[in-house]
Structure 1
Amino acid sequence: MSELVASAAAGGAAAARAEAGTGEPDLEHRLERYRVELTGYCYRMLGSSFDAEDAVQETMVRAWKSYDRFEGRASMRTWLYRIATNVCLDTLKSSGRRARPMDLSSPVSASSPLPEPLPESTWVEPAPDGRVLESGGDPADVAVARDSVRLAFVAALQHLPPRQRAVLILREVLAWKASEVAELLGTSVPSVNSALQRARATLAASSGEDSAETVKPMDEEQRELLARYVDAFQRYDLDALTSLLHEDATMTMPPYPLWLRGHADIRGWLTGPGLECRDSRLLPVVANGMPAFGQYRSAGEGAGWKPWALQVIEITDGRITGLNSFLDTPHLFPLFGLPPGIGPDGTPVAEEGAGS
């Protein structure tokens, strides 16, 4: 997986140009301007960072191949979104709905046996903000954009039929006009409005109550909470850690189809099956608009720490309400710009294989 992401990032539109057999550098520049927002759109549609990267790469390839037929009656942005939508709809024909553990089962107790892991394609995956959200702009718009890639929202989108999903994202998230969406999808404005109404109803029924806050870099209270979490987790002080949790906090651990709710069961899990997380190290990142950490588990005495999990933290009203640990996922670390390990001296290693 990491090789795929590295190739896509390095090749970009140049790879598309090579496949399409054209060499217009100006066109490459014009297409690349839309890469991040298209990746965000495809991520919301597909629920997977890697599938979104693939979909955007295919969009660029198709755009290069068909540019001589682009008549300019719509903007390049609209044209690219039409291609990206078709790519996503084609992808969704052959894939199942991605989910979070709470979409599949009820919460379990800490004493429950560990079930068999489910395939990676089962789960809504975390996404780094830098790949799915454009930087800069009005702070209010940035906050809305972050809100639209939260894990719970992306998971709720997966309940919608693909075309309804596209309509809702284009209308509610990207603020397209109904006439623009109708033109993109080759349908009528009444059909778009009807699809949006049905999508809203489904989303309201499936998303439940979710008030998780997005990351607030300048918020002293949030920074203090996260600093206390890192300290408690790295010391494995479960009294300190559970004091930071909301009483109804949840904990998920894809690829395992189970989840926990409440202090007692979360603590029980961390002192039982999760005990191997003692002596972990955490490096901060941002995922899905929320605070996140790359978790590195001990590689043995004197051997440093190796990638283990990507944690996405949900916070509401000064308390942690969700601990989402995507376990055994070293392929995610390059996507988030995380190092391949931490050396025995506690500093990130620079080369693959070092410190492991």
Structure 2
Amino acid sequence: MTIRFPKKLCPDDVIAITAPSMGVPASLHTRLDLAIDVLKSRKYRVLEGQCLRAVNKNKSAVRTLRATELSDFLLNAEINAVMPPWGGELAMELLELIDFEGLAQVKPKWFSGFSDLSTLHFPLTLICGWATLHGPNLMELGSKERDVTTEAIWLILEGERGEVVEQFSSPAYQTEGSDWREQPDAGFNLTHKTEWKRLDGSTLPMEFKGRLIGGCIETISRLAGTRFGDVPKFCEQHKQDGVILYFENAEMAPCELTRTLLSLKMHGWFDGVAGVLFGRSAAPAVTDPTLQNYHDALESALGDLSIPVLYDVDIGHVPPQLSLVNGAMAKVRYFDKGGMVAQLLE
């Protein structure tokens, strides 16, 4: 399958906003409005959907309305990008209501975000062949000041085709976030030094390359063995280029993470891949040395792989995070306890 990249975003383009998973409650509308103001400040026109500014039973609306609105936005030739406010938990309700085979026949557009949005990134890339952007959610763009890692989303969305976009490891990451209800324009509290790590314990430089595919492990792991998450097929289609798998963990405890990774291993997700990236874990840390911890989970499931595995990378629910393009050719370099990801916008 050929990966098709959307055209770059330009002034006067239309960005549609819908919440295919959880909507935005009234207490956070100010933050949402600030994020929308950022889009308008970059000269984009904004189209708000009806499934956006409400929450009931963990979602913005019933599944049929959410699926219809998202499908309409993705099919509408006048819309250039779809940027949901954030993820949630129930995007999986939409999968069998969306005609992904039909979307495969139309021009791609940017679909961006992370968390539960990975549930939609996967079929858009694996079935439709669209390049999709796994990176900061729209709500994270509403801060008064934004760090360079978060701002790199625009290098992707506004990048020229054929351009190579390089992103480097962040200087620091956040462990405790601000309450957007009390501080609607708050940015990240980047207080802890970033340190990418090799699973094999070495600190020597290394490099690997391949096509990126990945997302939130809680959601994409549920797609293993279905047509919505056929990673082995993607790896076979792109075996000449190689594949880099990446994951981020929102809340899985170490033992559950171990079981999940072993299950994906049995599904063939790691067969023939060139390397694996794991983001910093957002699950509660296990400090008792007699119990399985995050590193133990990775070592238990993946320690026998003869490929590079990096963890504590800038991906996911512990910000800031890189903007990674599913389907893009990428080169990953590890050095000086940090690194760089270079992606080709084809």
**Structure 2-normalised TM-score?**
0.27
TM-score norm. by structure 1 comes to: 0.26
Considering fraction of residues, name the structure with more helix. 1
Larger RCO (CA within 8 A; separation ≥ 6): 2
Larger Rg: 1
